[in-house]
Amino acid sequence: MSGQAETRSAESDRYRAAIAMSEFADKAGFAVVNVEEHHDAALGWLSSPLLLAGMIAARTSDIIIRGSAVLGPLYDPIRLAEDLAMLDLVSRGRFLMVLGQGYRPSEYHAMDRDFDTRGADTDFLIETLLKAWKGEAFDYRGRTIHVSPPPYTQPHPPLYYGGMSAAAARRAARWGLPFLPGQPMPEIEAIYVAECERLGVAAQVETFTDMTQIFVDPDPEAAWRELGPFFLREVDQYAEWMKAGVQRVYDAGSGSIEALRAAGTYEILTPAQCLERARSLDRPWRPILHPLAGGIAPERAWRCLQLFRDEVLAKL
């Protein structure tokens, strides 16, 4: 097999595994499976989150499928309203979309969108989505249109606004949407709550209490030697996209495996350590498992998931 064919086969295996792992997670009692959006990414993950979410929805029945984040201004507003309504119908309300803008001009260029007008475009998009999902005719750019079928969830599909800036917090409040920053950001969250109070709308902040990416293995030291390069590959990609003035949790630790381990953004724990972590907290533990991080082979990723199900979830 040629090198290109091997690469295509491996990429196919990875996406097929993601769907199968989501089905496994659904049956095992996991709470959420996450899909995100990246374009022009060296790792090849993930340019079509809505398409993948639909495939996952068709194979699952209970797990929440969260698009975090979907880069709203890169989409045609009506097409996005239709696609999200269809996802909402097929999943019966299990697709939760976190609408974001992104921060890479190259993605806007690739999708033929204007990076400089993304704020106004986002407001127009949200306004259009909320009108379209009412199931009634409405004015769209000077003409009357009607979007059908209406979504399953009323008054509209689960829609959050995500971001890591004061402008994002104020936009979420202005449209009466729940706010989900990409990491714990008390000052930004406070701006959102204060703006909701000023506008007289209910505030709902979704916060991440556990940010570490967890991999489960009976021998963490050996697993770090094997898997560390994959974690580093992923972190280095995010570091290349770093935006000035915004420090993200997952930007820490780029450069070497030793720095990555010291940063604690990725952890490899034994099942016993996972159980100890869960039982030591005075709140629910919401671990983030990322078994395919950085292109880890599916067969290796399966071992992590199965071990977590059998030796951790089953004992909690």
Q: Which tokens is 44 given?
A: 């090849």
- Alpha carbons 49 and 115: distance in angstroms, whole number: 21
Q: Determine the distance from the C-alpha atom of residue 286 to the mean position of all C-alpha atoms in its chain, rounded to a whole number.
A: 15
pLDDT tens per residue across all 316 residues of the chain? 556 676 889 999 999 999 999 999 999 999 999 999 999 998 999 999 999 999 999 999 999 999 999 999 999 999 999 999 999 999 999 999 999 999 999 999 999 999 999 999 999 999 999 999 999 999 999 999 999 999 999 999 999 999 999 999 999 999 999 999 989 999 999 999 999 999 999 999 998 888 899 999 999 999 999 999 999 999 998 888 876 555 666 566 567 899 999 999 999 999 999 999 999 999 999 999 999 999 999 999 999 999 999 999 999 9
Tell me the pTM.
0.94
User: Do residues 102 and 84 lie in contact, with contact meaning Cβ atoms separated by under 8 Å?
Assistant: no
Instruction: Name the strand (E) or helix (H) holding 32.
Output: strand 32-35
Integer Rg of the chain from CA: 20
Give burial (CB, 10 Å; 0-12/13-18/19+) of 245. exposed
User: Do residues 288 and 304 lie in contact, with contact meaning Cβ atoms separated by under 8 Å?
Assistant: no
Give me the DSSP letters along 74-107: GS-HHHHHHHHHHHHHHHTS-EEEEEE--S-HHH
Q: Determine the distance from the C-alpha atom of residue 306 to the mean position of all C-alpha atoms in its chain, rounded to a whole number.
A: 22
